[in-house]
Amino acid sequence: MQEREPLTRIVRPLRGGQITIPAEFRKRLGLGPDDLLKLTLVEGELHIKPVRVTETGEGSPWLKELYDLFAPVREEAKDVSEQEIDAAIDQALAAVRRKRA
């Protein structure tokens, strides 16, 4: 996508350190909700670059190892609904946030 005039915005990090990329930036970059970003810290500046993932014929050995490592957890959770898992995650996050507050 061709650059027009440079864009600059001031944003405030949220409590957890998250930042919002303004809509005009996302539009110019062609970013959608499922896109990935590469963040690089260079001499005190944060560089953010969209990453385009392409499928390859080979899988990642470390990812397969991680997937296999979680096989018992997947088996244990097979009868638990997504809503129940989300509720458990929400409870755990709330407990950690209370502890840090």
Same domain, 44 and 1: yes
Longest CA pairwise span in the chain (Å): 53
pTM score: 0.46
- Has residue 25 got a pLDDT over 70? yes
Please, are residues 19 and 11 in contact by the beta-carbon 8 Å criterion? yes
What mean pLDDT, rounded, does the chain reach? 88
Six token digits for residue 60: 């990642």
pLDDT at 91: 95
The Cβ of residue 25 has, within 10 Å, a number of other Cβ atoms equal to 15
pLDDT at 34: 87
pLDDT band at 57 (very low <50, low <70, confident <90, very high): low
Please give the tally of structural domains in the chain.
2
- Has residue 51 got a pLDDT over 70? yes
pLDDT band at 6 (very low <50, low <70, confident <90, very high): confident
Same domain, 38 and 72: no
Nearest to 22 by CA among 8, 41, 34: 8
Cα–Cα distance for residue pair 47/58, rounded to 1 Å = 29
Same domain, 36 and 74: no
